[in-house]
Amino acid sequence: MAFRSPGVLAMLLALSALPPPARAQREDRQQPAAFEGAVAAAGGLPRMRSLLVSRRGELILERYFNGARAGTHVNVKSVAKSVISALTGIAIARGLLPGVQAPIAPYFPELARAGVDPRKRRITIQDLLSMRSGLESTSGRNYGAWVRSRNWVRYVLERPLASPPGERMEYSTGNSHLLSAILAKAAGKDTWAFAQEVLGRPLGLELARWTRDPQGVYFGGNEMLMTPRQMLRFGELYARRGAANGKQVLPAAWVDDSFVPRGRSPISDQLYGYGWWIGSLADRPVYFAWGSGGQYIFVLPSLELVVVTTSSVDGGRDRRQHHAVFDLVEQHIIRPAALAAGTGGS
């Protein structure tokens, strides 16, 4: 089975020792019988907050757990990277950015200063999108020092090159934050205002403001706030190759390019495109936005299916139990959906 980490089986077995699952908060729509197992499994995960499924753009399952509600904004964590990728694609389509092969140096004059590693001037927009800038990561153990720094953009640019630009993937939220800074400069407005104009309004959404760095740049890659329904709408945009409400919000070619593997994470061993992870579940291609703690948007084009889950982002002994979400989606959503569509499932 795909996406199974060594601790998942033990975590699933441990569920029987947990207190009875919290009662799901029902919305005013009928629960498809095929997804009863999904709701039961989600209710057994103490960190779970929401589970939504849409098929061909129609919301067919929506459940909330442990006090969560439809209108509650969620810190979607690194799902924000997928949103920043979409904004980059729109900026390129509108001529605000020259293209993915464009170097980032013109947006950051500090890269032209004496003593700066000249290889940094070869970093491209594509390198940032695919996590192949070569710059030392600002995620993981380096994250705290970065977000405590006085200038987040400068901190990222001053990281030493761990590898030549464009060669090796190393996950780093700093890459996405540089994209946010570039978007603001290219659009002539802050990232939130640009996102609301080109993504929020076309999708019929009012995007919440989120965290900014000390210079006022909206955090590009974390701390973004969305409701589960907004996450679903964003996923549907990709499921429909960039179309929404009868308009092409995001170029179809950008969606296709985002789902092309550009590198593989040395930590999770998962493939990565432009802000999206790439893999398979139930032997079907799946593309997913992945936020720490259990924030996911799964897009399955073969079934015209989008699945959203949110979970508590607070620390605790059950923090890594979110990995069980992959099993829930595979066993209780994808397989039943495939059977209902008459396409089977292995």
Q: Tell me the average pLDDT across 311-340.
A: 82
**Confidence tier at 313 by pLDDT (50, 70, 90):** confident
**Confidence tier at 316 by pLDDT (50, 70, 90):** low
Residue with the larger pLDDT of the pair 327 and 33:
327
Residue 8 has pLDDT above 80, yes or no: no
pTM for the full predicted model:
0.90
**Confidence tier at 20 by pLDDT (50, 70, 90):** very low
By three-state DSSP, how is residue 221 classified? Answer: coil
How many residues does this entry show for the chain? 346
List the structure tokens of 286: 């799946």
Residue with tokens 């997804």: 35
Residue 286 has pLDDT above 90, yes or no: yes
Residue 38, pLDDT score: 96
Residue 85, pLDDT score: 98
List the structure tokens of 256: 């296709």
Q: How far is CA 210 from CA 80, 85, 150, 152, in A?
A: 11, 17, 18, 16
List the structure tokens of 71: 């209108």
Average pLDDT, rounded, for the chain: 90
- Percent of the chain with pLDDT strictly greater than 90: 84
Cα separation of 203 and 283, whole Å?
Answer: 31
pLDDT tens digit sequence for 113-162: 999 999 999 999 999 999 999 999 999 999 999 999 999 999 999 999 99
Instruction: Outline where 58-142 has alpha helix (H).
Output: 79-93, 125-129
List the structure tokens of 307: 């699945």
pLDDT tens digit sequence for 177-204: 999 999 999 999 999 999 999 999 999 9
Residue 340, pLDDT score: 83
Cα separation of 129 and 99, whole Å?
Answer: 12
List the structure tokens of 95: 């001529």
Residue range 78-225+245-250 forms a domain whose CATH class is alpha beta
Cα separation of 79 and 59, whole Å?
Answer: 20
- Cβ-Cβ contacts under 8 Å for 188 (sequence gap 6 or more): none
Residue with the larger pLDDT of the pair 207 and 11:
207
Cα separation of 75 and 45, whole Å?
Answer: 19
- Cβ-Cβ contacts under 8 Å for 161 (sequence gap 6 or more): 117, 119, 120, 134, 135, 136
Q: Do 204 and 245 form a contact (C-beta atoms < 8 A)?
A: yes
> Bridge-partner residues for 103, per DSSP?
124
Q: How far is CA 233 from CA 9, 23, 230, in A?
A: 32, 26, 5
- 25-29, 45-49, 229-233 — most confident range: 229-233
By three-state DSSP, how is residue 307 classified? Answer: strand
Residue 329 has pLDDT above 70, yes or no: yes
Residue with the larger pLDDT of the pair 283 and 29:
283
Map out the domains of the chain as residue ranges: 8-75+276-340, 78-225+245-250
Residue 290 has pLDDT above 60, yes or no: yes
Residue 26, pLDDT score: 46
Residue 344 has pLDDT above 80, yes or no: no
Q: Do 73 and 208 form a contact (C-beta atoms < 8 A)?
A: yes
Residue 3 has pLDDT above 60, yes or no: no
Residue 171 exposure: Cα atoms within 13 Å on the Cβ side: 23
Instruction: Outline where 94-224 has alpha helix (H).
Output: 125-129, 143-147, 152-157, 173-187, 191-195, 201-203
Residue 268, pLDDT score: 87
